[in-house]
Chains A and B, each alone.
Chain A
Amino acid sequence: MVREVAESCVESLLTEIVSQYCNGFYANKPDLAARRIEAIGYQVGHQLSERYTMERPRFSDHLEAIKFICKDFWSELFKKQIDNLKTNHRGTFVLQDNKFRWLSRVSVAPSSENTGSIQDPSAMAESKEAQATGMYLYFPCGIIRGALSNLGIPCAVSADISNLPACSFVIRIKA
């Protein structure tokens, strides 16, 4: 896969933002760091949605806006579309990306060597790794929330990483 300089720059920037907020500014307050990173993403999404919706007719309902996020918006950001979109038709949407670009170089090591010897610490380490990976997802969550709010859809976005590098974003639209 061809990788461009700008792309690597963005990834490095994201890594640096996360490490700066988690280990520098809010070293002992992961919740606060997460909120700050999400807020940065929100502003980015807010501005990008303004740019990418130029020259297109207005959306008539929520589904159309979500589809726009899945197709055009995702293509602009990650050069691919969302792989799977699920909805319960009551305001919850699950967007699944089978190979999320910003996580493609994150590896959660299956600590197979440790299993068996000491059970508890390895489980703890795993959850720590998952937590560290999760920090990288607040930024894209913020982007989605920012884009949708700018399109007039207030919502909450969370992410789920049960099997890397697949990643799903859960959008809950506020009634």
Chain B
Amino acid sequence: MIVCVAVVGHQNNPLYIQSFTEADDALKLHHIVHCSLDVVDERVNNPKRSGPTLNETFLGLLYPTENYKVYGYLTNTKVKFILVTTDLDVRDADVRNFFRRFHSAYVDAVSNPFHVPGKKITSRTFAERVSGIVKSFGLSSAG
């Protein structure tokens, strides 16, 4: 189950952060997202593992904690997408698929002429679309 997703701007400013848990642990999840930004920076600035994965938008598993797995995605425009999940055996393809759909939702949201670049995304349509993507995560039917 996905417990938290976030969009972070190129200056590490939060653009959208949403947790999907019943419990009151939003702060903890925000903290995890915050920590993951350092890992993203490290991955991008020290590309030790060169090869085909170099400069790919999908950054893979950023770091596992006891209860969570954190995945990252960095666009060409230096916008970061973070995914926190409680599932322990996640298929890479599912995560890639999730980020691809999340990215296109984001692109549609920022293409709104009333959206101010660099400001938080307040669009309700975007929020609904994201929760739809989150709900369908991992289902085999998800195209």
Interface residues of A (CB under 8 A from B): 43, 46-47, 49-51, 53-60, 150-152
Interface residues of B in 61-102 (CB under 8 A from A): 74-78, 100
Which size bracket describes the interface of B in this complex? 10 to 19
Interface residues of B (CB under 8 A from A): 10, 54-57, 74-78, 100, 103-104, 106-107, 110-111, 113, 117
Residues A55 and B100 in contact, CB atoms below 8 Å apart: yes
Distance in angstroms between the alpha carbons of A60 and B55 in the assembled complex: 7
Q: Interface residues of A: mostly helix, strand, loop or mixed?
A: loop
Residues A152 and B55 in contact, CB atoms below 8 Å apart: no
Contact of B55 among A47, A55, A57 (CB under 8 A): A57
Distance in angstroms between the alpha carbons of A152 and B54 in the assembled complex: 18
Give every chain A residue within 8 A of B110 (Cβ-Cβ).
47, 50
Q: Which 4 A-B pairs have the closest CB atoms?
A: A53-B76, A57-B55, A58-B55, A47-B111
A45 to chain B, nearest CB (A): 11
Give every chain A residue within 8 A of B10 (Cβ-Cβ).
152
A39 to chain B, nearest CB (A): 12
